Amino acid sequence: MILQFWGARGSFAVSGPEYLEFGGATPCASLQADSRNFYLIDAGTGIRKCGEFLAAHLRGAKLTLLLTHFHLDHIIGLPSFQPLYDPRTLLVIYSSLKPEETRQQLDRLMGHLFFPVSFSETACQKEIHQFRHSFSLGPVTVRTVTLPHPQGNTGLRFEGEGGSVVFATDAEPSEAGWSEEIINWAAEADYLVADAMFTPEEYASGKKGWGHGSYEAAVHLAQQARCKHLVLSHWNPRHDDRRVEEIINQVREKWPQAQGAKPGLKIEI
């Protein structure tokens, strides 16, 4: 499996020379199991570049989009996704909502006064499903868990022949720490993609309850779940490249295998 990041910025997109290394696009990642199975995780503004790649290399393919939740930074890029307008595309969408509710939310995003074409009116073929606790997508098994985040968020664990990867951004543990359920769900993953939105100092200065832990919480989850590699993501839009590098270096003092997500980063699992 090949994991690739297309956007790793949290909350809202940013631009400028101070963000060139880690990018300004909001969350989108892809996981390619083989030539016929391509999965997208979230539809932040990073999905635009992913759509350009797919239009050039996998036109008309079956694409599976898994939406962890419906906060704007995770869905706002969908109108810019080229395959959405190609009648040869089969777009299979999963979310925590019932299929009709998912369609309604995406029509709200793209319809009415906000966009000239609603989601339902776009040309691609569509299938919409609700997450289950465990389900198969071709050669990959997906296991889900509910993560602590306002209005809810679904954690995704992908298991394939090559290994496993866990997506656990947008999650704030309780004061008691990560639940046993979440630790067991993430256990022994080859790669853990986790939230680095706040520094410990930022988190302690009025950010509790916002739905994101500090990067220390990401390290704790990696340690408790005995994950092999940690990928920090969901960068704070106020953290420029220099600050992000400082955070990664601080995390590496406790977790040497840590690295930072950024557009273009590819990991073979």
Name 154's bridge partners: 146
Q: For each of the domains in the chain, give its residue range(s) and CATH number, in order of start.
A: 2-268 (3.60.15.10)
- Sign of the Cα pseudo-torsion (32, 141, 91, 62, in order): positive
The two tokens of residue 105 are 């939310």
Q: What is the CA radius of gyration of the chain?
A: 17
Going residue by residue through the chain, which has 269 residues, state the pLDDT in tens, using 9 for 90 and above.
Answer: 999 999 999 999 999 999 999 999 999 999 998 878 899 999 999 999 999 999 998 877 789 999 999 999 999 999 999 999 999 999 999 999 999 999 999 999 998 789 999 999 999 999 999 999 999 999 999 999 999 898 889 999 999 988 999 999 999 988 889 999 999 999 999 999 999 999 999 988 887 877 788 999 999 999 999 999 999 999 999 999 999 999 999 999 999 989 999 999 999 99
**Residue 237 CA from chain centroid, whole number:** 16
Q: What sign has the CA pseudo-torsion 175, 154, 109, 237?
A: positive
Identity at 269, one-letter amino acid code: I
CA distance 143 to 186: 10
pTM: 0.95
- Report helix angle 215-224 to 241-252, nearest 10: 30
